[in-house]
Structure 1
Amino acid sequence: MVNSKNLISILLAIVLISGCATSTKRDVANQIGKKPVPAENETSQVIVRDDAEAEYDATSETETRLVSHQESIELPVEKYDPLLLPMPGDVLASQSTAISLDELEALAQANNPTLVQAAAQVEASRGAAYQAGLYPNPVVGYASDQIGINGTAGELQGAFVSQEFVTGGKLKLSRAKWTKQVAVAETILSAQYTRVLNDVRIHFYRTLAAQQLLAVQGKLLENAKDNLQTHKEMLNLGQTNQSGLLQAEVDLHRAQLKQQAAENDLEQEWRNLVAMVGTPELQCTTLRGRLEPPQEFYDWNSALNQLLESSPEIVAAWERVQHDEITVERERVQPIPNILVDVNFGHNFETDNSVAGVTVGLPIPIFDKNQGTVDQALADLNRSRADVKRLELSLMSRLSTEFRNYQTACQHVETYRDEMLPKGKQAYDLLHHSYKERRAPWPDVLMAQQIYLNLQADYIMSQLKYHESEIAISGMLLTGGLAEPPAPVGGGHINAVPKPR
């Protein structure tokens, strides 16, 4: 029989061996990346440290280990690491069907109907220019005089030719006027190409951003599901109340609604994109491209100078001024009378001779000197000259608004890229590391992950706003890729005559 001293020694040895085994179990679990499982009847203790890392240690070990994957399941860090999400500058383009911006632009140039309309206006103006310079047709006819006299076929039987000779260089001026309208129509066609390409690019980046936002919202939904499961376990252990669980459920529903909205946004943007391209039958696919903006940005003076020097709207306005100047000259020579010549020839049965005759006439501009039309042409010329100035001021005002948006977007992009995203990542990494060291609760890690994902979503929107404003500035503020192209020149009385002049 064992005496009392030996019994006490044996019990102490058993306690020491059990303590060593529990400590070893914890160390192995930490080394292989598993969450340590508390030993039976192990008492929760508050760990207090005096070093600089004590800021995460105001939590019990039980709270630190509360996650939805507690039961001896390895929790890979990568599953919750936002850095392994598709970065905002990259697009998910693993599918072989991914389509690029260049391909969409080529499709738009071949299928957008407004380009056909603008090209038709060019051809119509060319036809009018050709028609305006054509000489009047001669008139050929049959002539007879005194038919039936004394039972004869008439005194004279023959034919006549009548021709109008245009004077004052009217035809040359008319053709020059309409040729200038051809130039206006060509400028409008060029502007319409820019409008279409600008809108295709804008809708491409909107669709690309919607595609990436959907991926981020999917990760936020996973975060909300994990948060709800964590609160359920905390409620079971008495570490939260029903209010906290209900709030986690609300957060999950909010994340689900946001993901549904992101899906709807992607569908809408894709429909807008294929409509702009002119191929509504194109199936929804992944876009291949980047949202990351360049490092160099516009300044106000260079943007304004480029706009005023190269804007098709201003070029077309100056061409309309030249068109109206030619119109004034054309209307001023309109009163110069054209010469009308008639030549007739035939046989005189009374004298039995072949005869011919010539008549020459011209209208005398006594009452109608075309003075009213000249006044109208001068008024149109003054209006066109004022329109150039109006366009310059309007473009400057529109550029001012767009440049403000551009500057704001650039500032946001730089701040998110250089400051907020790196710090959000660092905060997440620190909390995740502290959690693995059992010095931070899992809800704090989820909150850091949620903040970082929201920063990514905000960064995507900032990049989108940058591209929208940058395309507007570099694209001469031209938008409306599905709007009917404007007419080269407005209609009026001068252009309402049967023959262009």
Structure 2
Amino acid sequence: MAVGKLNVWQWSLVLAVPSFAGCVLPYSKPATYSEEIVPVAPASISQSEGKPDVALVDHQEPISVIQPPVLEPTNILPPETSPSDIPAFEVAQATKVPAIPTSTASGLTLAQLQDLALANNPTIRQISASAQAASDYRYQVGLSANPVVGYSGSQLADQNTDQHLVTVDREFVTAGKLDLNRNVLGHAVEAQKWDVESQRYRVLTDVRLAFVDALVAQRRMDVIDDFHGVVAKGAELAQKRFEAKEASQSDQLQAEIQLNEVEVLRQQAQFAWDAAWQEMAATAGVPNMQRSQLSGELNPQVGNLEWEAIYSDLLGNSPELRASYSRVHQARANMSRQEVQHIPNILAGIQAGHDNSTGSGMINVTVGAPIPVFNDNSGNVSAAYREYCRATHAVKRIEMSLKARLAGVAKEYDSALVAVERYEQQILPKAKRTLDLSEQAYAAGEFSFIQVLIVRRTYFDTNLQYISALGELAKAHAKIDGLLLTGGLDEPTDFQGSDALRGQTFSQQ
């Protein structure tokens, strides 16, 4: 036969071609992660089109020998996620890193500082790297096994009877395990993307909270500086009147005490401003940023809020909750994956060569598969079910956590709103009116100097308390806008998975 006259190398070529057939999967190799990527604004979520690149598989009850199924999932089933709802991984695709702003006449704005934070905060880069790692693992777990090519020689010492064989062995995966692997890791990638989005909200909220603290301190310093001039003049006047024997020494001492108190408050406000600036700059990832005045308002357009409506919005928009939904889908996909693990892969091998004793070619074929007699993967199936139960309870936990956090913020918001409205409508106007009347009475000789000092201090303290109430209201509003996510410098969630599913696919034992 003509086939038998092929030499060893020709047989090698013949066997190599079919051994690689079917090894190419319709997935592109992941791109290398770049640290130069800059996050976009949190509201910018890519509206991708087409079919989702991770399809959910139908789940069937796992067949398990482990009893009893004490743990049950909650009744909460996360909604199916459409591609337009998933944050695009271009969490960081901006053309350039924004420059660190220098001191300007108008002052730094919140928007400038938040842009800096999105570009420089290290936790965003950390969790972006974790998300990219999850994407890389997703690529890896769907790869087929490499064929094993070898050489076999026999009777080499017996002249003219030696036999030479080229061998090619390959494991063929059954039951779509590789696609199921990618399905499981695909949902993990989605969860990591939502974690990136959560971290960006945390950073933005923390920057905004520190900005409000700094702005409050800045406003307090302005008020204190204005009042300091009045108190200083009063202390000077009291000194002159005492020297002219027109007032008692107690008036002079009381004026000096008030001046010292105001100076202490000024120093404390400066310390508060410095601390808020350092916190804000550290959260933004630029701790050495040149200090300058801030430009912003403490009194946003606010009013009474419908807290049940806000909670409903949180349930629909929270990236924290969306990540938990993706992890439920991941757990369900892993259950389906474990249910087919016991279906054996096909181990096939072919040997081709030449027998010098007969001058003929040789072809040997081997086919085998592990028989699931002792290991039917029931333990992993049951464990996957427990993980699914855990994931569904995690959804419920996050919903309750949002409810509890919103209750705390609602208390802060409502308390601050009541204080701000009362100060604006009643307390501040009355304090100003009282101050004007006391000054007129003092000029007419109807009020003592001590009484004037008390009224002045009341008006001053009222303004400081009003600024503090404005700050508390602005901070509560910032937390609501930030979807109750804080902790911009806390250790971000890391991806805990690996390519273990691929190893399980090819172990079969």
Which category of TM-score, normalised to the shorter sequence, fits these structures? 0.7 to 0.9
| 1:132 counterpart residue number | 141
Q: 1:145 Cα deviation (Å)?
A: 1.9
Q: 1:271 Cα deviation (Å)?
A: 0.7
Q: Is the 8 A contact 2:413 2:476 kept in 1?
A: yes
2-structure distance, mates of 1:112, 1:436: 58
Q: Verify: 1:337 aligned to 2:344, yes or no.
A: yes
**SS of 1:99 mapped into structure 2:** coil
Q: 1:301 to 1:170 in 2, by over 3 A?
A: same
> Which of 272, 276, 282 is matched with 2:283 structurally?
276
Q: Verify: 1:382 aligned to 2:389, yes or no.
A: yes
Q: 1:498 Cα deviation (Å)?
A: 6.6
One-letter amino acid of the structure 1 residue matched with residue 481 of structure 2: S
| 1:360 counterpart residue number | 367
2-structure distance, mates of 1:297, 1:106: 30
Aligned ranges 1:27-106 → 2 under 5 Å: 95-96=104-105, 98-106=107-115
One-letter amino acid of the structure 2 residue matched with residue 314 of structure 1: L
One-letter amino acid of the structure 2 residue matched with residue 483 of structure 1: D
**SS of 2:290 mapped into structure 1:** coil
**SS of 1:479 mapped into structure 2:** coil
Q: Verify: 1:407 aligned to 2:453, yes or no.
A: no
One-letter amino acid of the structure 2 residue matched with residue 235 of structure 1: F
Q: 1:476 Cα deviation (Å)?
A: 1.5
Task: Using structure 2 for the length normalisation, give the TM-score.
Answer: 0.74
Q: Is the 8 A contact 2:108 2:295 kept in 1?
A: yes
One-letter amino acid of the structure 2 residue matched with residue 137 of structure 1: N
Aligned ranges 1:104-183 → 2 under 5 Å: 104-148=113-157, 150-151=158-159, 155-183=162-190
Q: Is the 8 A contact 1:196 1:482 kept in 2?
A: yes
One-letter amino acid of the structure 1 residue matched with residue 332 of structure 2: E
Q: Is the 8 A contact 2:255 2:453 kept in 1?
A: no
Q: Is the 8 A contact 2:251 2:450 kept in 1?
A: no
> Which of 230, 233, 237 is matched with 2:240 structurally?
233
**SS of 2:289 mapped into structure 1:** coil
2-structure distance, mates of 1:257, 1:359: 90
One-letter amino acid of the structure 2 residue matched with residue 157 of structure 1: H
Q: 1:126 Cα deviation (Å)?
A: 1.0
Deviation track 1:426-463 (CA, whole Å, cap 9, x = no partner) reads: 22223334455665555544443332222111111101
Q: For the aligned residues, what is the CA RMSD?
A: 2.2
Deviation track 1:48-103 (CA, whole Å, cap 9, x = no partner) reads: xxxxxxxxxxxxxxxxxxxxxxxxxxxxxxxxxxxxxxxxxxxxxx9526111111
> Which of 430, 435, 441 is matched with 1:428 structurally?
435
**SS of 2:119 mapped into structure 1:** helix
Deviation track 1:291-310 (CA, whole Å, cap 9, x = no partner) reads: 01314332221121112222
Q: Is the 8 A contact 2:142 2:502 kept in 1?
A: no
One-letter amino acid of the structure 1 residue matched with residue 183 of structure 2: A
One-letter amino acid of the structure 2 residue matched with residue 267 of structure 1: D
Q: Is the 8 A contact 1:132 1:500 kept in 2?
A: no
- Unpaired runs of at least 5, structure 2: 1-102
Q: 1:279 Cα deviation (Å)?
A: 1.1
- Unpaired runs of at least 5, structure 1: 1-93
Q: 1:454 to 1:279 in 2, by over 3 A?
A: same
Q: Verify: 1:313 aligned to 2:320, yes or no.
A: yes
2-structure distance, mates of 1:274, 1:230: 43
Q: 1:367 Cα deviation (Å)?
A: 0.8
Identity of aligned residues (%): 33
2-structure distance, mates of 1:292, 1:111: 29
Q: Is the 8 A contact 1:230 1:443 kept in 2?
A: no
Task: Using structure 1 for the length normalisation, give the TM-score.
Answer: 0.76
| 2:457 counterpart residue number | 450
Deviation track 1:322-381 (CA, whole Å, cap 9, x = no partner) reads: 100111111111111000111111111121111111100111111111122122111111
Rg larger for:
1
Q: Verify: 1:460 aligned to 2:467, yes or no.
A: yes
